[in-house]
A and B are shown apart, each in its own frame.
Chain A
Amino acid sequence: MTDGDLEVFLSLVERHRRYMYKLAFRITGNEQDAKDVVQESVLNAYLHLKQFEQRADLRTWLNRILVNCALDHLRSRRRRPDVNDPRPISDVAETAVSSSPDAERLIASADWRRQVSAVMDTMSPLERVTFALRHFEGCSINEIAQTVGIGANATKQHIFRAVRKLRLALEPHWSGR
């Protein structure tokens, strides 16, 4: 590949870069990880440009690469003890905010966001990625299965487990109101 190819490639990617960052941020949950994932996926896309060939949709192809980079990133993050959250799901539930006067204010509060983020951190990389794609991005289960490269049933199971963790930690707020 020549320098000219790189310039053309980067100009194509530029149109999708903001969307890629948003997706990476929604999956990883923090800005630095999202930047690393975008950087890694653009590099991977460039290295495997020949595989893009005649595929019609560049964004779909880039997304697939990004999701798999994010998965690898989450897996390596779990292996780092300083970042890995060892708290069991029950502990996350105990740190609940308790004094919000109504549901809307509760959801809008920073404490609530922190708590949702803490529950997301207890999810396995596959649970987190499949849930984020289904819940935040609105991708269908079949699309997620294709993107991540696992079966549709496996995708469902990961989403079910992710939802179970969220319900276990968050539902006590509603039931206690």
Chain B
Amino acid sequence: MSHLSDDELVLHYYGEDGPEIVSVERHLRSCDQCARSFAALSQTLTAVTPPEFGEGADELPALRPFILEHQRDRAPAGLIALVWLVPLLYPFSFRALFNSVQVVHEHVVGMALVALSLAWTFAGPFVAIYALNRGAVDRFDRASTRVLLFGALVAATSPALFVFASRAMPGLLWWYVAVATACLMALPRWPSSTRAAASFLYVHRLSALIVTAFVSAHIINQAIAFFSLSSYTAMRGVMRIASQQPALYAVLVGAVGIQIVTGAAIGMRKVRAGSVAANLQAVSGWYLAAFLLVHVFSGLMFSPSPSTTTVAPSATQFDLLATARLTAQLPFLLLGVSAFLFHIGLYGRLAALAHLAESSVRRLSYAAMLVGTTVVVTVGLALCGIHLIR
């Protein structure tokens, strides 16, 4: 038996080395070097005794008034108004973006207008995360909590829902009917899904592997379009042939369906006031579900436009600032890319924490954020019709 590692010694100290315990003990009796290491470890750990507590245990605060005070908390009305204002104003945001782009053609100062309208267009998910962090979202038995939570959901997914609603029933009136319906759906009590959520998580992660492979290839190809339009076209042709295979297509659509259903079951219970990471994960998941629903299923539900059946990219596919109607696609697509990168990035961070020190994970997270931002900007430039090689 070779020398024992520090980690094996720690496991042995705590008696957590399982069936190996006998062989480890035998080794410690025959190996002076390991025995010395184990003695040093034992001496240190034995000297680490629990902190002694003083009078605090007898001076615990009264719990009853604390709970009663918290029970009176309601989700703040201001936050509820804020989240519901986002879907109400959303249809005007991309029109503002389109108009400000027209102003830039005449005055450079229009850049400020573009920046403002871009912030407005992309505001939904950020407003949702802000509201979830600030609001009291742990009391699902309260109507105010549900209205806030559902408002955050609709605010976060407005760009995708609007594209979906305008394909299903064009017209602003229908959009507002859909928003009002969503608000009404928040009023009845929701069934508890805690047990189901735990079992859904495994299926959710498994189907995510298939979707991740497909979406990653898609995003990389979209980024390639910024560098070379012809390379994009060639790669898209290959991907289209692959995805048109009936078996592959069925697997893909099935995986997306599972993602949406399981994500919806676990997503609502994940949010917590003050928990930025959990809320980011939930909001990016909500948007991703809405995005995939529109991107994958609207083709099945509504007749596809002729442009989707041609191999060459259509004239409007990479010129989303050409008309106000097309401009709505820009936040829809870019937020989809961002939500995907955020969602898998947060899972990746969680997995990395199991194997690496937090400081290393933090550095890796910064690097991943830089790469992710570069990808989103590159895809955005390509979608606005900016290509290095046509």
Interface residues, chain A, CB within 8 Å of chain B?
A: 6, 10, 13, 17-18, 21-22, 25-26, 29, 31, 34-35, 38-39, 42-44, 46-47, 50-51, 72, 76, 103, 106-107, 112-113, 116-117, 124, 126, 134-136, 140-141, 150-151, 153-154, 156-157, 159-161, 163-164, 166-167, 170-171, 174-175
Instruction: Establish whether residues B57 and A112, one from each chain, have CB atoms under 8 Å apart when the complex forms.
Output: no
Chain B: minimal CB distance from A32 (Å):
8
With a cutoff of 8 Å between Cβ atoms, the chain B residues found around residue A50 in the complex are: 192
Q: How many angstroms between the C-alpha atoms of A106 and B45 in the bound complex?
A: 14
Does chain A have a CB within 8 A of B303? Answer: no
Q: How many angstroms between the C-alpha atoms of A107 and B49 in the bound complex?
A: 8
Chain A: minimal CB distance from B267 (Å):
17
Does chain A have a CB within 8 A of B370? Answer: no
Binary interface encoding of chain B residues 126-149 relative to chain A, with 1 for a CB under 8 A from any of its CBs, else 0: 000000000000110000000000
Q: How many angstroms between the C-alpha atoms of A126 and B50 in the bound complex?
A: 17
With a cutoff of 8 Å between Cβ atoms, the chain A residues found around residue B357 in the complex are: 124, 161
Q: How many A-B residue pairs have CB under 8 A?
A: 117
Q: How many angstroms between the C-alpha atoms of A103 and B9 in the bound complex?
A: 22
With a cutoff of 8 Å between Cβ atoms, the chain B residues found around residue A135 in the complex are: 14, 45, 48
Query: If the complex has contacts A116-B48, A156-B11, are A174 and B57 also in contact, measured as CB distance less than 8 A?
Result: no
Query: If the complex has contacts A46-B67, A135-B45, are A39 and B61 also in contact, measured as CB distance less than 8 A?
Result: yes
Instruction: Establish whether residues B43 and A21, one from each chain, have CB atoms under 8 Å apart when the complex forms.
Output: no
Does chain A have a CB within 8 A of B304? Answer: no
- A38 CB contact (under 8 Å) in B45, B51, B60: B60
CB nearest neighbor in A for B350: A150
With a cutoff of 8 Å between Cβ atoms, the chain B residues found around residue A140 in the complex are: 16
With a cutoff of 8 Å between Cβ atoms, the chain B residues found around residue A107 in the complex are: 47, 49
Does chain A have a CB within 8 A of B353? Answer: yes
Query: Can you offer 30 A-B residue contacts whose CB atoms are under 8 A?
Result: A10-B67, A17-B60, A25-B57, A26-B50, A29-B51, A31-B53, A34-B53, A35-B60, A38-B60, A42-B63, A43-B63, A46-B67, A50-B192, A72-B275, A76-B274, A103-B43, A107-B47, A113-B52, A126-B358, A135-B14, A135-B48, A136-B50, A141-B14, A150-B354, A154-B353, A166-B45, A167-B6, A167-B44, A170-B44, A174-B40
With a cutoff of 8 Å between Cβ atoms, the chain A residues found around residue B41 in the complex are: 163, 167
Q: How many angstroms between the C-alpha atoms of A18 and B56 in the bound complex?
A: 10
- For chain B, the bracket of interface size reads 35 or more
Query: If the complex has contacts A13-B63, A156-B7, are A171 and B44 also in contact, measured as CB distance less than 8 A?
Result: yes
Instruction: Establish whether residues B64 and A6, one from each chain, have CB atoms under 8 Å apart when the complex forms.
Output: yes
Chain A: minimal CB distance from B381 (Å):
35
With a cutoff of 8 Å between Cβ atoms, the chain B residues found around residue A117 in the complex are: 51
Q: How many angstroms between the C-alpha atoms of A124 and B354 in the bound complex?
A: 12
With a cutoff of 8 Å between Cβ atoms, the chain A residues found around residue B47 in the complex are: 103, 106-107, 112, 116, 170
Chain A: minimal CB distance from B276 (Å):
10
With a cutoff of 8 Å between Cβ atoms, the chain A residues found around residue B275 in the complex are: 72
Chain B: minimal CB distance from A83 (Å):
16
Chain B: minimal CB distance from A18 (Å):
6
With a cutoff of 8 Å between Cβ atoms, the chain A residues found around residue B67 in the complex are: 6, 10, 42-43, 46
For the complex of A and B, list the 4 residue pairs with the smallest distance between their C-beta atoms, beginning with the closest.
A154-B354, A31-B56, A136-B50, A124-B358
CB nearest neighbor in A for B138: A47
Instruction: Establish whether residues A10 and B56, one from each chain, have CB atoms under 8 Å apart when the complex forms.
Output: no
Instruction: Establish whether residues A35 and B10, one from each chain, have CB atoms under 8 Å apart when the complex forms.
Output: no
With a cutoff of 8 Å between Cβ atoms, the chain B residues found around residue A159 in the complex are: 10, 14
- A160 CB contact (under 8 Å) in B7, B40, B48, B49: B7
Chain B: minimal CB distance from A87 (Å):
14
Q: How many angstroms between the C-alpha atoms of A106 and B57 in the bound complex?
A: 27
With a cutoff of 8 Å between Cβ atoms, the chain A residues found around residue B16 in the complex are: 140-141, 156
Query: If the complex has contacts A76-B274, A117-B51, are A126 and B44 also in contact, measured as CB distance less than 8 A?
Result: no
Question: Could you tell me which residues of chain B, from 1 to 58, have a CB within 8 Å of some CB in chain A?
Answer: 6-7, 10-11, 14, 16, 40-41, 43-45, 47-54, 56-57
Q: How many angstroms between the C-alpha atoms of A148 and B57 in the bound complex?
A: 24
Instruction: Establish whether residues B51 and A26, one from each chain, have CB atoms under 8 Å apart when the complex forms.
Output: yes
Q: How many angstroms between the C-alpha atoms of A51 and B50 in the bound complex?
A: 32
Instruction: Establish whether residues A10 and B45, one from each chain, have CB atoms under 8 Å apart when the complex forms.
Output: no
- A43 CB contact (under 8 Å) in B14, B52, B66, B192: B66
Query: If the complex has contacts A17-B60, A126-B353, A153-B354, are A22 and B53 also in contact, measured as CB distance less than 8 A?
Result: yes
Chain B: minimal CB distance from A106 (Å):
8
With a cutoff of 8 Å between Cβ atoms, the chain A residues found around residue B355 in the complex are: 154, 157
Does chain A have a CB within 8 A of B194? Answer: yes
With a cutoff of 8 Å between Cβ atoms, the chain A residues found around residue B43 in the complex are: 103, 174
Query: If the complex has contacts A126-B353, A166-B45, are A21 and B139 also in contact, measured as CB distance less than 8 A?
Result: no
Instruction: Establish whether residues B14 and A134, one from each chain, have CB atoms under 8 Å apart when the complex forms.
Output: yes
Instruction: Establish whether residues A10 and B50, one from each chain, have CB atoms under 8 Å apart when the complex forms.
Output: no
With a cutoff of 8 Å between Cβ atoms, the chain B residues found around residue A116 in the complex are: 47-49, 51
Does chain A have a CB within 8 A of B70? Answer: yes
With a cutoff of 8 Å between Cβ atoms, the chain A residues found around residue B57 in the complex are: 18, 21-22, 25
Q: How many angstroms between the C-alpha atoms of A124 and B358 in the bound complex?
A: 7
With a cutoff of 8 Å between Cβ atoms, the chain B residues found around residue A51 in the complex are: 192, 194
With a cutoff of 8 Å between Cβ atoms, the chain A residues found around residue B52 in the complex are: 113
Chain A: minimal CB distance from B143 (Å):
16
